[in-house]
Amino acid sequence: MAANPVHGAQFRSLIEIIRHHSERRPDKTSFVFLEDGESESSALTFGQLEQRVRAVAAQLQEMGATDQRALLLYPPGLDFIIAFLGCVYARVTAVPAYPPRNNQNLTRLRTVIEDAGAKWVLTTSSLVSNLGTQFEHVPELSTLRWLATDDVPVERRDAWKEPVVGPDTLAFLQYTSGSTGAPKGVMVSHGNVLHNERIIELSFGHTERTVFAGWLPLFHDMGLIGNVLQPLYLGVQSALMPPAAFIQKPARWLHMISRYRATTSGGPNFAYELCARKVSAEQRVGLDLSSWEVAFNGAEPVRPGTLQRFADAFKDHGLRVTALHPCYGMAETTLLVSGKVPAQHPSLFPIQADALEEGRVVPVEGDAAASANGARVLVSSGSSLLEKVRIVDPASLKECPEDRVGEVWVSSASVAQGYWNKPELTREAFQARIADTGEGPFLRTGDLAFRRGEEFVITGRLKDVIIIRGRNHYPQDIEQTVEECHPALKASGGAAFSVEVEDEERLVIVQEVERSYLRDLDVGEVVGSIRQAVSEHHELQVHAVVLLKTSSIPKTSSGKIQRHACRNGFLRKSLSAVGEWVENLQTEAKQAPSAAASANGHSEEAIQNWLLGRMAQYLGIAAEEIDVQAPFARYGLDSAVAVSLTGELAGWLGREFEPTLFWEHPSAEVLARHLADELKA
C-alpha cells in the first residue's frame, strides 16, 4: 500500500485516490488544456473529471470490456485522460498509443495491437471517421470494437459499478518506443503507480501547493506518470499543451509556466536546448520563471552545456539554477529511479574520457577540469529513494566499486510486473540476481552508470540503443530500413549509431555498397534514398552517411557488426569510405527568420524561396540541391524540423497552421502554391 503524506490517507488503487480528491475538492481545477499552446480550450474540475470517467467506465462495463485490453488512440487533450482513467475504473487494461498520422506509423501500431491482444479501440468521434481510411493499411483495426468516448453521455456515470481492484491489478501496458519488430509492453500495476508517485512526490519535494505545466506526449511514461498521474495523486492542477505547439514555438512552454505560476515542469534535454537557442529576446518579454522549483530533465543524456546555456538565457527572468533537476528513470520502473535533491545545484563530474571507455572512473581534478584535454563532464542524476539500486558488472554479475562503471540494477515496488506475454524476456530483465550474494530479484535496466556516494551518474547504454529527443531507436531497425532502400546497399552490411554534435545526439549511418555498384556509384542518389527512408520510417534526420567498400565494415570473428568500432572509425575518419555526406550545420542560421524575409511579399515564388532557404539551413545542404517537386522526406526532413518550420511560417506569414502542414503538402512547390492560395483567399 502507498501512503499519501499530504492527506494522511491510505490508497490501494488509482480509483481510490481519484475518488478521494473528487469528493474532497470537487470544484478545484484538475486539468487545463491549451490546444494552441496559448489559450485555454478545455478544463475540468476534479468533480467533473470523475463524473466523465465513471460514465466511460460504465459504458465499457456494459459492453463487456472488463479485463480486456483497449488501445487508446487520441490526439493530445483531456479526452485521452478521461479514456485512460475510464479504463482504470472499468478494470480494462489501457494500451496508450498515438493515432497514425500516415503510413509510416502503421507498422508499429499493427505490432502493438497484435502483441497486446487488444480487442477495443477508444478514441474520439472525429478520429473514428478519419481512422477508417487506415483500415486498408491496418486490417487489424477493422476487427476491433470501437468506442468514441466523447459521445458517452455523462449521465451514464450512475450505472458504474466499482470493480475489485488492488495493488497487484494491472493498470496499463506502457509500450517502449524501441524495436518495431519486437514491441515490449511493460505491465504496470496500480501498486507500481502509487509507489512511484510517492517516490516522485518525495524526490521532487511536491506539496499541495505544487502546480504542473507540460507539453510531453501523454501516451509516453514521462508525460503520463509525471504530468497526469502525479497531479492526480497530489490533488493539484496541471496545465497541458500538445507537443507540436511547443516544437512550433518553444516560448509557449515557458510562458505557460509563467502564466500558471507552475512549480514543476520539464522534459528531455533537447527541450531546454531548443529554448536556449530559439526563444528570442522579444519572446522573453514579460516572462517570469520565479515560480519554477523543479525543472526536471530526463529521458536522454543531460548535457552540462545545455544546463549552462538554459540558465544563462533565463536567469534575468527569475529562473534559479537550483531549479534545474537532472533525473533518471524508465518505463520498467514505472518512471522515476533517481533525481537531484531539490534546491541544490546540479552536480557535475569531470572524468577522464579514455578511462571511461574502459569502464574506469578517473576524476579530473582542478578548476580547469571542465575544459581539460581528454576530460568528459557528466551530470549526476541524483540519488534514489527506491528500496535497492545497485551498480553491477554486467559480465561477472557482481556489484561494482565506485571507480568502475556498471549496469544499473533496481529492486523496488516501483518495478513493473514484467513484459506482457514475454516470459523469457521478463526472466532475463526482471529476475536478475547478484552472483556472489544471491541478492535479488533485480531489474536489469541496460543503462550504464557509476556511483559517487549516494549519487548516480549515467554514462551510456549497455546495448546500442540510440536516444534522440527522448525517444529510443533500435539501430537494427534503422539498419534494416537503410539496406532495403536502394539496390546498391549490401544486406547485413550497415551500422547505425549516434554521435554528439553541438550538445545533441545526431544519427550516423555507415553502410557497405554492393561490389557491382562500386564502379559507377551515384553517391548523391544513394544518400538521398537513405535520408528519405529514415525520415519516412523513423521520423529521424540523418547527420551523416558513409558508404563503404564491400566487406570492409568492422565485424566480430563471428560476423556481427561492431557498431562501437564503426562509430570510432567515423570519428577518426579511418573507415574504408567510397562516398560520404555530412550535413553542414549552421547554428546561427537556425534562428527565427528576420522581417527582411518578407521584403518580396508573400507570392508563391517568395514563399518557395523562403522554404528552400530555411530547409537548406536546417538540413545542412545548399538550397540549389533541393528539387522543389521532390518530397520533403527525400531530404530527411524529420517531424520535429517540419513542425518547427510550421511555427516559423506562422510567424512570418501571420497565420496559424496545423502541425501536419508539411505532410499534407509534401513538397516545396505544392506547399508554396497552397500557402499563396490561402493568403489570397
Model pLDDT for residues 463-478, shown as the tens digit of each residue: 777 878 767 777 877 8
Neighbours of 7 (CB within 10 A): 15
Q: Grid coordinates in use for 320?
A: 534559479
**Residue 371: pLDDT over 70:** no
* Cα distance between residue 614 and residue 642, in whole Å: 11
**Residue 367: pLDDT over 60:** no
* Cα distance between residue 643 and residue 657, in whole Å: 10
Decide: helix, strand or coil at residue 339. strand
Say which range, 219-233, 260-274, 295-309, 604-618, has the weakest mean pLDDT: 604-618
C-alpha pair distances (Å), 469 with each of 87, 327, 446: 29, 15, 19
List the one residue out of 412, 15, 410, 1 whose CA is nearest residue 168. 1
**What integer pLDDT is reported at residue 470 of this predicted model?**
67
The span from the first CA to the last CA of the chain, in angstroms, equals 61
Q: Grid coordinates in use for 58?
A: 460504465
Fold of 588-680: 1.10.1200
Q: Grid coordinates in use for 204?
A: 521532487
Q: Looking at per-residue confidence, does 371 or 385 come out higher?
A: 385
Burial of 113 (0-12, 13-18, 19+ CB in 10 A): buried
**Residue 310: pLDDT over 90:** yes
**How remote is the C-alpha of 77 from its chain's centroid?**
17
Cell 474520439 maps to which residue? Answer: 124
Say which range, 334-343, 448-457, 579-588, has the weakest mean pLDDT: 579-588
Neighbours of 477 (CB within 10 A): 20
Burial of 255 (0-12, 13-18, 19+ CB in 10 A): buried
List the one residue out of 497, 498, 584, 494 whose CA is nearest residue 548. 494
- Mean pLDDT within 232-241: 98
List the one residue out of 180, 112, 137 whose CA is nearest residue 481. 180
Query: pLDDT tens, 491-522?
Result: 888 999 989 887 788 899 999 999 899 888 99
* Cα distance between residue 24 and residue 18, in whole Å: 10
**What integer pLDDT is reported at residue 366 of this predicted model?**
64
Neighbours of 35 (CB within 10 A): 16
CA angle 447, 639, 132 (to 5 degrees): 105
CA angle 137, 140, 145 (to 5 degrees): 125
**Residue 216: pLDDT over 70:** yes
**What integer pLDDT is reported at residue 461 of this predicted model?**
82
The residue ranges of every structural domain in the chain are 2-339, 348-381+386-461, 466-583, 588-680
Report the residue count for the chain: 681
- Mean pLDDT within 121-126: 93
Query: pLDDT tens, 629-654?
Result: 888 877 777 777 788 888 888 888 88
* Cα distance between residue 173 and residue 178, in whole Å: 14
User: Sorting pLDDT into bands at 50, 70 and 90, what band is 135?
Assistant: low
User: Sorting pLDDT into bands at 50, 70 and 90, what band is 590?
Assistant: very low
* Cα distance between residue 310 and residue 308, in whole Å: 5
CATH superfamily to which 348-381+386-461 belongs:
Luciferase; Domain 3 (2.30.38.10)
DSSP letter at 229? I
Q: Are 299 and 505 in contact (CB under 8 A)?
A: no
User: Sorting pLDDT into bands at 50, 70 and 90, what band is 133?
Assistant: low
Strand arrangement, sheet containing 93-96: 145-148, 120-123, 69-72, 93-96, 170-175, 185-189
Cell 527582411 maps to which residue? Answer: 596
List the one residue out of 75, 77, 38 whose CA is nearest residue 251. 38
Q: Grid coordinates in use for 611?
A: 522554404
What is the full DSSP assignment across 394-450? Answer: TTT--BPPTTB-EEEEEESTTS---BTT-HHHHHHHH-B--TTT----BEEEEEEEE
The CATH number of 2-339 is 3.40.50.12780
* Cα distance between residue 242 and residue 36, in whole Å: 7
* Cα distance between residue 9 and residue 232, in whole Å: 14
**What integer pLDDT is reported at residue 307 of this predicted model?**
95
CATH superfamily to which 466-583 belongs:
ANL, C-terminal domain (3.30.300.30)
